[in-house]
C-alpha cells in the first residue's frame, strides 16, 4: 500500500522544520529528546503501534516548552499529514526501508536509524527512492558527525600510519541471555500485526517485542547489525571503501546460553575486496577483555583498529590513539569532545533539509546502505555456513542460488517493499 506523492510545505528562512518521530521505544525517546533541544525544528507528531509508548513520549514533549504534538497509531497517517516536513524512524530494523520509502513517496525527508535496511534489496531500493523523489535520507550513523572520528579518518587518509593494510571492528558487548517465554495474548493497546509489518505473522511473544526483537531474524540482524553496524561503517570509512567486498565469510554461533535467541552472540567476519586490503569484524556477547589499545567501558570494548605499514590507530567513542613503529610508541592521544552525538547528527540532517543537497548529509543513504549491506553479506554467510562471493555489477552472489534468495524476503501484504519506488 504505497502512499501518494505530496509536496512538502515551502519552508521560509525562519520556519521551524516539523518532524514526526515514528517508533517511540528507548531509541525513539532519544530522538524526541534530541529534537526538543534543536531550535530549528519542532516535534510536531508522534507515532507508535503501542499506545503506552505514545503517552510516554507525549509526556516528554509536555515537559518542554513546545506545544503538544499530534499522535498517530499508523505511520501512513503521518505521511498523509501535509504539515509534516520530515520523519525520524526509530522502529525495529524490518520497518526501516518500507517506512522510509513510503515517507519519501509522500514528499517527506527522512532520518532513519541504523542499520539502513533489514536486507540487501531494501538498501538499494532506499537509494533509488531518495534519488527519484529528491528526498534527504540520513542514516543514524552518528559517528560520521563527531569531530574526533572525522579527524582520525583524515589522518588515516594522510598516511599517519603508512599504508593501511587491514582494519578491524570490535563489538565486545556483554548481552545477558533472554531466556525462554511462551506465546501469549497481545497486550491491550498494541497493534501486533502492524508491529510485525513486513515480517511473517506470529503469535505475540514478549521476547519478540521491545528490545529483544534484535535477536530474531524476522525483525533484527543480531548485534552485528545492531551495535556492530556503527563500527562496520567506521571500518569502511577509514578504508575508503565505496563498494561491497567481493568475498565474505562469517562463522560463530550462539554460545553458552540455552534460550530463544536466534542470532549469534559470537561472530567472526572476514571481508576481502581483492585489492590486498583485509577487513575483519568480531562480535563477542560474553565477557571478554579489550584489544589493541581500546578501553573497556563498563565491561564492553566497542571500537576500531586500523593497521598500517608504520603503526596502528585505535578509535572509539572516547577518542583515538596513534601508535608507531615496531615497539608501538604512542605518538598521539586525542580525546573525544563530549557532545550529544545524535543531536549533532540530526542538526546535520536538518541543515540538509534546508539546503536540498544530499551531498551535505554526513551519512547519506549510500553511505548507510554500504555498512548495512556488508552486515547482511556476513549474516548470509553465517547462516549458510560458507563463504559467499559478490558481483558488484549484477548485485548478486556468484553461483549461489541460496544466497541470492536471501538478498530479499517474502513480504507480508500489504507491507511490501516495492520493486518500483
> pLDDT, tens digit, for every residue of 164-222?
999 999 999 999 999 999 999 999 999 999 999 999 999 999 999 999 999 999 999 99
Q: Is residue 21 situated within a structural domain? A: yes
- Phi and psi at residue 111, in whole multiples of 5°? -110, 120
Residues 172, 299: contact at Cβ < 8 Å?
A: no
Looking at residue 181, the DSSP 8-state letter turns out to be -
The pLDDT tens digits of the residues spanning 116-154 come to 999 999 999 999 999 999 999 999 999 999 999 999 999
The pLDDT tens digits of the residues spanning 333-389 come to 999 998 999 999 999 999 999 999 999 999 999 999 999 999 999 999 999 999 999
Residues 60, 36: contact at Cβ < 8 Å?
A: yes
pLDDT for the residue 9: 65
pLDDT for the residue 295: 83
Residue 294 reports pLDDT greater than 80:
yes
CA–CA distance, 380 with 269 (Å, rounded to integer): 11
pLDDT for the residue 65: 80
- Residue 324 is part of a domain; what is its CATH number? 3.30.360.10
Q: Is residue 421 situated within a structural domain? A: no
Residues facing residue 332 across a β-bridge: 322
Q: Is residue 413 situated within a structural domain? A: no
Q: Where are the beta strands (DSSP E) in 173-324?
A: 247-253, 266-272, 278-284, 301-308, 311-316, 319-324
Residues 382, 252: contact at Cβ < 8 Å?
A: yes
Ranges 10-24, 112-126, 266-280, 317-331: which has the least confidence: 10-24
Residues 124, 117: contact at Cβ < 8 Å?
A: no
Antiparallel, parallel or unpaired: β 86-89 and 17-22: parallel
CA–CA distance, 264 with 5 (Å, rounded to integer): 40
pLDDT for the residue 413: 96
pLDDT for the residue 15: 87
Answer yes or no: do 26 and 159 share one domain: no
pLDDT for the residue 293: 84
Answer yes or no: do 112 and 156 share one domain: no
Q: What percent of the chain has pLDDT over 90?
A: 93
pLDDT for the residue 1: 41
Q: Is residue 416 situated within a structural domain? A: no
Answer yes or no: do 90 and 138 share one domain: yes
Residue 279 reports pLDDT greater than 50:
yes
Global confidence as pTM? 0.95
Q: Is the peptide bond before 267 cis (omega within 30 degrees of 0)?
A: no
Give the total number of structural domains in the chain. 2
Answer yes or no: do 204 and 241 share one domain: yes
pLDDT for the residue 5: 43
* Helix, strand, coil distribution of the chain in percent, nearest 5: 35, 25, 45
Give the range of the structural domain holding residue 266, as residue numbers without chain letter: 144-179+186-337+373-405
Mark out the alpha helices in 63-164 (DSSP H runs): 75-80, 96-105, 120-133, 147-157
C-alpha cell at 271: 571481508
Task: Compute the half-sphere exposure of residue 78: CA atoms within 13 Å on the CB side of its CA.
Answer: 33
State the burial class of residue 51 (Cβ atoms within 10 Å of its Cβ: 0-12, 13-18, 19+).
Answer: middle
- Residue 47 is part of a domain; what is its CATH number? 3.40.50.720
Residues 283, 228: contact at Cβ < 8 Å?
A: yes
Residue 3 reports pLDDT greater than 60:
no
pLDDT for the residue 292: 85
Mean model confidence pLDDT for the chain: 95
Residues 381, 387: contact at Cβ < 8 Å?
A: yes
Looking at residue 358, the DSSP 8-state letter turns out to be G
Answer yes or no: do 259 and 385 share one domain: yes
3-state secondary structure of 86: strand
Q: What percent of the chain has pLDDT over 70?
A: 97
pLDDT for the residue 2: 44
Q: Is residue 9 situated within a structural domain? A: no
Q: Is residue 410 situated within a structural domain? A: no
Answer yes or no: do 93 and 160 share one domain: no
Answer yes or no: do 218 and 235 share one domain: yes
Amino acid at each position: 500500500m504505497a502512499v501518494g506523492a505530496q509536496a512538502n510545505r515551502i519552508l521560509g528562512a525562519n520556519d521551524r522544520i516539523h518532524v514526526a518521530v515514528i517508533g517511540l521505544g528507548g531509541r525513539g525517546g532519544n530522538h524526541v529528546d534530541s529534537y526538543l533541544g534543536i531550535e530549528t525544528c519542532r516535534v510536531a507528531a508522534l507515532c507508535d503501534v503501542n499506545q503506552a509508548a505514545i503517552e510516554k513520549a507525549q509526556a516528554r514533549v509536555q515537559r518542554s516548552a513546545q506545544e503538544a504534538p499530534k499522535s498517530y497509531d499508523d505511520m501512513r497517517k503521518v505521511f498523509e499529514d501535509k504539515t509534516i516536513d520530515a520523519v525520524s524512524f526509530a522502529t525495529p530494523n524490518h520497518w526501516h526501508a518500507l517506512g522510509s520509502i513510503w515517507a519519501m513517496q509522500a514528499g517527506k525527508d527522512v532520518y532513519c536509524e541504523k542499520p539502513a535496511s533489514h536486507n540487501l534489496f531494501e538498501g538499494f531500493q532506499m537509494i533509488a527512492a531518495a534519488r527519484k523523489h529528491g528526498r534527504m535520507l540520513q542514516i543514524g550513523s552518528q559517528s560520521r558527525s563527531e569531530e574526533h572520528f572525522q579527524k582520525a579518518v583524515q589522518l588515516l587518509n594522510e598516511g599517519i600510519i603508512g599504508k593501511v593494510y587491514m582494519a578491524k571492528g570490535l563489538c565486545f558487548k556483554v548481552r545477558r541471555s533472554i531466556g525462554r517465554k511462551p506465546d501469549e495474548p497481545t497486550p491491550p493497546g498494541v497493534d501486533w500485526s502492524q508491529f510485525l509489518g513486513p515480517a511473517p505473522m506470529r503469535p505475540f511473544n514478549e521476547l519478540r517485542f521491545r528490545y529483544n526483537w534484535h535477536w530474531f531474524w524476522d525483525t533484527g540482524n543480531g548485534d552485528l547489525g545492531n551495535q556492530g553496524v556503527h563500527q562496520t561503517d567506521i571500518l569502511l570509512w577509514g578504508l575508503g571503501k565505496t563498494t561491497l567486498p567481493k568475498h565474505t565469510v562469517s562463522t560463530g554461533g550462539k554460545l553458552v546460553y540455552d534460550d530463544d535467541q536466534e542470532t549469534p552472540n559470537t561472530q567472526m567476519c572476514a571481508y576481502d575486496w581483492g585489492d590486498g586490503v583485509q577487513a575483519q569484524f568480531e562480535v563477542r556477547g560474553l565477557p571478554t577483555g579489550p584489544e589493541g589499545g581500546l578501553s573497556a567501558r563498563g565491561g564492553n570494548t566497542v571500537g576500531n583498529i586500523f593497521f598500517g605499514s608504520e603503526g596502528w590507530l585505535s578509535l572509539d567513542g572516547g577518542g583515538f590513539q596513534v601508535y608507531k613503529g615496531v615497539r608501538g610508541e604512542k605518538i598521539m592521544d586525542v580525546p573525544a569532545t563530549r557532545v550529544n552525538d545524535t543531536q549533532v547528527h540530526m542538526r546535520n540532517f536538518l541543515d540538509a533539509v534546508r539546503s536540498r543537497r544530499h551531498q551535505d548529509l554526513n551519512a547519506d543513504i549510500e553511505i548507510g546502505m554500504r555498512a548495512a549491506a556488508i552486515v547482511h553479506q556476513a549474516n548470509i554467510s553465517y547462516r549458510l555456513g560458507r563463504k559467499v562471493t559478490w558481483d558488484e555489477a549484477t548485485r548478486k552472489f556468484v553461483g549461489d542460488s541460496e544466497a541470492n534468495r536471501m538478498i530479499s524476503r517474502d513480504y507480508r501484504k500489504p507491507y511490501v517493499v516495492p520493486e518500483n519506488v
